[in-house]
Chains A and B, each alone.
Chain A
């Protein structure tokens, strides 16, 4: 922990380093061939390691987590705090940080100003991830990542205990409001640098009390800390938790995640870069990457095997830690045995090389992809943290009514530069939203 004064000095030093680093090289393909990583104010290092330290002093044991250090400041001031091991998540939008409040076990101790509605109620959010939720107040911060800054944006502070989790929120999944524990984040926060400008968008700006409202009830107005003190509310899009990249002064149209290849046996760590902007500088051009447009849900179609069956609602997501697809019954790949919660991962007796293709949401282009699936139990037993061949089951039905999806998680990113363009943003590859690789 640093004192506020130390933090101010540190921030000043970091700012100088950031400004001094504005050279920039053409690093758009650095992840593929091992040449020097890009530098510049729009670049921040990514580390893939075992995650932040938990209560016992040892890393929490994250597998395939891509982490960056970010800095949050009270808006308009130099009163800042750096937070390490924030997960880079191209599958969501918005910054969420775990509070340092004892139960949550996160790092954020800086007291940020709360977002309030017109009635001076505190605004809180119940945000959904794949089988859980994060609950906490919406607060305002200047968010610095590398040399970029998003000024005065709304972020979610997870796990601060001012308001109990509303019943509606408890119903959407498991509570992920802690660092450790069975459904803990295993990260000090989530940096959502995905396809959308806001985490929710126009639906959350509609009045939930109006009949037929499409408001999904993510945002709450909290008038008291008593049970029932938080009620579902609307929030204008401009006030919602937003993708920090979309609020940068420059380099605001998307990101590149650049990770090097890792050996088939995995690695204890891997180092790469999170690059801001697409085609805005000499170090973030599309190069040979092919643009795959996505629909308004952020999804495209994966064809598998080869160019066979179509699996719509597929997505690329650095925040997923494996390549998750179909089921053992569909793929014929055996799952792991032996318990320890690994029985939904694939455990082929020897590594498999598989072929698929990713197709734009409107039918073009069709981009081949080969990927590898190794024995997940052997990977976990190696105690590594970076694996390009970890995979498991997802929703197994292949029907048109509940479409099966390919979840191209972090293993897909190793050895590739993966672009995520924000909805509505202009880029040399056309307007977002799209993914490209």
Chain B
């Protein structure tokens, strides 16, 4: 019934990265940006960071004190190709989606029935899904053209 990927989470090799807060300079985008932007997100969200490498990408997991969990999926050559979030409240999506924030806004505005249901939008530039209600939100976004060929889209979770 479900389309599950061959590469499973249990294959991950978790490793804790002892990172320092990079800077307090204006943050750059995460999605579509290079791996250094993860550090900017970490600073913005005041989050702890855990890094999980896999064969074709690494997952940078940011846990904010608000209880919101953010995952950023980074290619072997350092591009952020997908982000997910779940928690009681949404993170700053302008920060997390960067140049794709406008694509999100456009997708949300295109919904037939306005604001009254989840967002499920797929374009060649951005796939974005958002669901939930106050105190339990979740979502994911990825850039199809940046997803490595070996990676199933369902792995972005």
Give the chain B neighbours of A397 by CB distance below 8 A. 129, 140, 154, 156-157
Binary per-residue interface labels of chain B (101-116) against chain A in the complex, 1 for a CB within 8 Å, 0 otherwise:
1001100111111111
Known contacts A132-B115, A305-B1, A402-B86; A172 and B120 CB within 8 A of each other: no
From B35-43, B65-73, B143-151, give the one contacting chain A: B65-73
A403 to B132: give the CA distance in the assembly, Å. 11
CB of A55 within 8 A of chain B?
Answer: no
State which residues 40-91 of B face A: CB under 8 Å: 46, 65-68, 71, 84, 86, 88-91
B134 to chain A, nearest CB (A): 5
B121 to chain A, nearest CB (A): 7
State which residues 1-26 of B face A: CB under 8 Å: 1-4, 9
CB of A327 within 8 A of chain B?
Answer: yes
Tell me if A394 and B133 are in contact (CB < 8 A).
no
Tell me if B88 and A216 are in contact (CB < 8 A).
yes
Tell me if B90 and A128 are in contact (CB < 8 A).
yes
A97 to chain B, nearest CB (A): 16
Give the chain B neighbours of A321 by CB distance below 8 A. 113, 116-117
From A16-24, A180-188, A250-258, give the one contacting chain B: A180-188
Tell me if B117 and A403 are in contact (CB < 8 A).
no
Tell me if A131 and B94 are in contact (CB < 8 A).
no
Tell me if B120 and A127 are in contact (CB < 8 A).
no
A330 to B117: give the CA distance in the assembly, Å. 19
Tell me if B115 and A129 are in contact (CB < 8 A).
yes
Option from B89, B93, B114, B121 in Cβ contact (under 8 Å) with A183: B114
Option from B65, B101, B154 in Cβ contact (under 8 Å) with A399: B154
Give the chain A neighbours of B112 by CB distance below 8 A. 340-342, 345, 380
A92 to B115: give the CA distance in the assembly, Å. 14
Q: How many residues of A contact B (CB 8 A)?
A: 76
Known contacts A322-B117, A398-B2; A129 and B134 CB within 8 A of each other: yes
Give the chain A neighbours of B138 by CB distance below 8 A. 313, 395, 402-403, 405
Give the chain B neighbours of A131 by CB distance below 8 A. 104, 108, 115, 118-119, 130
A172 to chain B, nearest CB (A): 5
Option from A186, A216, A327, A345 in Cβ contact (under 8 Å) with B89: A216
From A207-215, A282-290, A363-371, A414-422, give the one contacting chain B: A207-215
Give the chain B neighbours of A128 by CB distance below 8 A. 89-90, 134, 137
- Some 22 contacts from A to B, beta carbons below 8 A apart, are A64-B113, A130-B119, A168-B92, A170-B94, A171-B93, A171-B101, A172-B92, A183-B115, A196-B135, A203-B88, A216-B68, A297-B88, A298-B136, A315-B133, A327-B120, A341-B112, A395-B120, A395-B129, A397-B154, A401-B157, A403-B86, A407-B131
CB of B32 within 8 A of chain A?
Answer: no
State which residues 132-191 of A face B: CB under 8 Å: 132, 168, 170-174, 176, 182-186
Tell me if B139 and A395 are in contact (CB < 8 A).
yes
A400 to B135: give the CA distance in the assembly, Å. 19
Give the chain B neighbours of A395 by CB distance below 8 A. 118, 120, 129-131, 138-140
Q: Which residue of B lies closest to A218 (CB)?
A: B89
Q: Is the interface of A mostly helix, strand, loop or mixed?
A: loop
CB of A75 within 8 A of chain B?
Answer: no
A299 to B139: give the CA distance in the assembly, Å. 16
Give the chain B neighbours of A322 by CB distance below 8 A. 113, 116-117
Q: Which residue of A lies closest to B121 (CB)?
A: A344
Option from A130, A184, A185, A402 in Cβ contact (under 8 Å) with B84: A402
Q: Which residue of A lies closest to B136 (CB)?
A: A297
A342 to B119: give the CA distance in the assembly, Å. 11
Tell me if A320 and B117 are in contact (CB < 8 A).
yes
Give the chain A neighbours of B132 by CB distance below 8 A. 130, 313, 315, 405
Give the chain A neighbours of B119 by CB distance below 8 A. 130-131, 344
State which residues 38-80 of A face B: CB under 8 Å: 62-65
CB of A308 within 8 A of chain B?
Answer: yes
Q: Which residue of A lies closest to B139 (CB)?
A: A395
A319 to B139: give the CA distance in the assembly, Å. 19
Give the chain B neighbours of A211 by CB distance below 8 A. 46
Give the chain B neighbours of A344 by CB distance below 8 A. 111, 119-121
A103 to B28: give the CA distance in the assembly, Å. 32
Give the chain B neighbours of A399 by CB distance below 8 A. 4, 9, 154, 157
B129 to chain A, nearest CB (A): 4
B85 to chain A, nearest CB (A): 9
Tell me if B116 and A319 are in contact (CB < 8 A).
yes
CB of A409 within 8 A of chain B?
Answer: yes
A311 to chain B, nearest CB (A): 10
